[in-house]
């Protein structure tokens, strides 16, 4: 018999966070989260995304053993302000038992019905900066800290239960050595700077970045506002993400472009790959996890393109040449070998065009699934 338990206690939340460690044990492609960070992300007193959301944390039990988990998320910005009658679900992990998946998603359906919602979509996080999607291709590729890994049967379970693909995301990788003609964007960036009165802003210390943080996230909101999945970042979330992410990224990997009035018109954030370091840490910062992460921050030869944003009135004006030129110089100095593009909506053709000259190879696909809420 399968029992679904909604949990609220700290001890049960820790079980929720630690469950994937059992089903991905010894999997060479799964990247374990830092347990402390996951728990803080679920704490409404610490994560401002939960100011406008309600989360039901669900564990599935069979024979008194945890066999699955899911978070059912009510995002009130979507529901009340945008009029989307959507029941989100995320942090989905389960053993290969269709009945367990059905029991968990039936409970998500029940919560959606109680709140007069119309359909379910997931896996999704609380906001646009959270993890998204279930793998549909690339199960033999190592994950990263900003995506969920999943067993191949996850998507099969969804499809067998009548869920259909809603959004498709792609991830790709290219070798830094594939950048054969850097003089192309080196010449272009000089021309574009002169034409529009632009300049690049680079950093060597994290404290230099912080004064630009709010402006950067405002630009993020402007850049992605037209995407169908977009939920704006609030003022409190800006402060949260600055503390959580920017302080841990190598400052040399953050690039801004400003106009003649010193207003930020473009930004890009690249992260060192923490995949191997997180595997070594195995969920814990101490005693050695923090050492592995700090070492990766400084010495990783693989980088992850996390975010890029360009103000709408500067899109299609070649501003990315300025950003690429700055990264080329930084990566060459650091001896970077591989560059990873994080999850990008397949429908976002503008972002795909940025990379066409780098010969990227799509190595993963992920998707969200949707189903109408039933009575």
Residues 6+ apart with CB under 8 A from 249: 206, 269, 270, 271, 272, 297
Q: Which two tokens stand for residue 10?
A: 């700290």
Question: For position 168, what pLDDT does the model report?
Answer: 95
Q: How far is CA 28 from CA 33, 38, 57, 75, in A?
A: 14, 21, 27, 34
End-to-end CA distance of the chain: 23
| Residue 9: predicted pLDDT | 95
Using alpha carbons, select from 47, 35, 44 the residue that is nearest to residue 11. 35
Distances (CA, A) of 362 to 106, 276, 329: 34, 21, 25
The three-class DSSP label of residue 271 is strand
Give the pLDDT confidence score for residue 172 in this predicted structure: 92
Per-position b or e across 194-227, b if 16+ CB within 10 A of its CB: eebebeebebeeeeebeebeeebbbbbbebbeee
pLDDT of the residue at 23: 97
The candidate with the shortest Cα–Cα distance to 218, out of 270, 261, 263, 173, is 263
Q: Which domains does the chain have, with CATH numbers?
A: 2-171+368-372 (3.40.630.30), 174-364 (3.40.630.30)
For 173, other C-beta atoms within 10 Å of its C-beta total 16
Mean model confidence pLDDT for the chain: 92
Q: Which of the residue ranges 2-16, 87-101, 119-133 would you say has the lowest mean pLDDT?
A: 119-133
Q: At what angle do helices 152-160 and 98-114 cross, to 10 degrees?
A: 60
Q: How many C-alpha atoms does 36 have within 13 Å on its Cβ side?
A: 8
Tokens of 32: 């374990």
As a whole number of angstroms, the distance between CA 12 and CA 8 comes to: 7
What's the pLDDT at 245? 77
**pTM metric for this prediction:** 0.92
Decide: helix, strand or coil at residue 301.
coil
**Is the pLDDT confidence value at 323 over 90?**
yes
Give 161-211 pLDDT, tens digit per residue.
999 999 999 999 999 887 777 788 888 899 999 999 999 999 999 999 988
Q: What is the pLDDT of residue 228?
A: 62
Q: What is the pLDDT of residue 229?
A: 62
Position with higher pLDDT, 219 vs 226: 219
- What pLDDT, on a 0 to 100 scale, did the predictor assign at position 140? 97
Q: Is the dihedral of CA 272, 131, 321, 197 positive or negative?
A: negative
Q: CA 65, CA 118: separation in Å to the nearest integer? A: 32
Tell me, what's the pLDDT at 345?
83
């Amino acid at each position: 018999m399968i029992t679904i338990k909604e949990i609220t206690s700290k001890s049960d939340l820790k079980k929720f966070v630690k469950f994937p460690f059992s089903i991905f044990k010894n999997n060479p492609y799964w990247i374990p989260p830092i347990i402390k960070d996951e728990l803080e992300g679920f704490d409404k007193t610490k994560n401002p995304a939960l100011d406008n959301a309600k989360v039901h944390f669900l564990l599935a039990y069979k024979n008194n053993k945890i066999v699955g988990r899911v978070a059912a998320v009510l995002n009130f910005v979507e529901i009340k302000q945008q009029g989307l009658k959507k029941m989100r679900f995320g942090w989905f992990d389960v053993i290969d038992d269709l009945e367990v998946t059905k029991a968990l998603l039936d409970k998500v359906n029940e919560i959606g019905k109680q709140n007069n919602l119309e359909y379910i979509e997931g896996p999704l996080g609380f906001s646009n900066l959270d993890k998204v999607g279930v793998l549909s291709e690339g199960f033999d590729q190592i994950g990263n800290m900003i995506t969920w890994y999943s067993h191949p049967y996850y998507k099969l379970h969804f499809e067998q239960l009548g869920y259909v693909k809603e959004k498709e995301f792609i991830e790709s990788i290219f070798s830094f050595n594939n950048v054969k003609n850097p003089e192309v964007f080196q010449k272009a960036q000089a021309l574009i700077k002169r034409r529009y009165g632009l300049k690049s802003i680079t950093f060597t210390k994290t404290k230099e970045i912080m004064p630009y943080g709010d402006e950067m996230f405002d630009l993020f909101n402007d850049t992605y506002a037209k995407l169908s999945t977009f939920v704006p970042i609030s003022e409190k979330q800006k402060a949260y993400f600055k503390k959580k992410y920017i302080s841990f990224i190598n400052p040399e990997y953050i690039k801004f472009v400003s106009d003649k009035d010193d207003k930020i018109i473009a930004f890009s954030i690249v992260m060192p790959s923490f995949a191997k370091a997180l595997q070594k840490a195995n969920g814990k910062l101490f005693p050695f996890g923090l050492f592995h992460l700090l070492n990766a921050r400084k010495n990783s030869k693989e980088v992850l393109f996390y975010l890029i944003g360009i103000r709408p009135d500067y899109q299609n004006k070649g501003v990315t040449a300025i950003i690429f030129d700055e990264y080329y110089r930084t990566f060459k100095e650091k001896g970077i070998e591989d560059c990873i593009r994080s999850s990008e909506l397949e429908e976002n053709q503008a972002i795909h065009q940025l990379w066409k000259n780098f010969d990227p190879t799509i190595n993963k696909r992920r998707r969200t699934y949707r189903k109408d809420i039933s009575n």
